[in-house]
Amino acid sequence: MCGRYTLATPVAEMSRMFGFPELPNLPARFNIAPTQDVAVVRWLDDEKRRALSLVRWGLVPHWADDPSIGSRMINARSESVADKPSFRSAFARRRCLVPADGFYEWQQHVPKGEKKQPFRIRRRDRQPFAFAGLWETWKGPKGGPALDRPLETVTIVTTTANGVLKPLHERMPVILAEDDYAAWLDPETSGEAAGALLRPCPEDWLEAYPVSTRVNSVRNDDPSCVDPVEGAGVAAPAPRQPKLL
């Protein structure tokens, strides 16, 4: 799954990597959490270009009566995303990139009474990357008054864990290859072709290291969240020869 992540990469660098022209003042984030506003990259079909936007993390389907449903929709399983009513419309036409430069996972199996150890996962080359995301627009409850400003939300697609993540969790976010960004964003890409992109990334892209339990609290959002801690156990090592995006 994916419940916390980081994005401290300067926006100018992200602009070059993800192909959007906007250069907003995005503060560095070290503990991004659900229900917060997050940066996404979308395709503007009328302008034939990519755009950076801020939307709320936690997808609210267009048919929902209550936006609080979004807190339970932070992730979408790749195996059912094309069919599940909450996600199938967005999967068909509203796919996006969610830029990140790391994410957190908590080791599931720990001795009874001990806290789960958090790990940060990042690319071995320290470059930013993109989760596969879906976005949606909610205009208010059916039959009720329309919102002054529609609510835009996003979910991160997950898949089975690769060898780096398996010691921590059985799921991981879908990390797209750079060559697949255009196909994922294109609303004309078929569901079958888009679904084929939803797979675990190669193990040699990633590394994992233990961090402080400070990341357990969403109130902590500073550079110390990503500092390694000693003697906290380690995830299984990834292969040593990195294969870059």
What pLDDT, in 10s, does the model give residues 96-155? 999 999 999 999 887 777 889 999 999 999 999 999 999 999 999 887 877 889 999 999
- The CATH H-level (homologous superfamily) assignment of domain 5-21+31-226 is SOS response associated peptidase-like (3.90.1680.10)
| 230 has catalytic annotation | no
Q: What is the pTM of this model?
A: 0.93
**What integer pLDDT is reported at residue 148 of this predicted model?**
86
pLDDT tens column, 216-233: 999 999 999 999 998 765
Residue 105 annotated in active site: yes
CB neighbourhood size of 242 (10 A): 14
Task: Considering the candidates 2, 96, 201, 225, report the single residue annotated as catalytic.
Answer: 2
The mean pLDDT of 28-34, rounded to a whole number, is 98
Q: To the nearest whole percent, how much of the chain has pLDDT over 90?
A: 86
From the list 22, 79, 96, 105, the catalytic residue is: 105
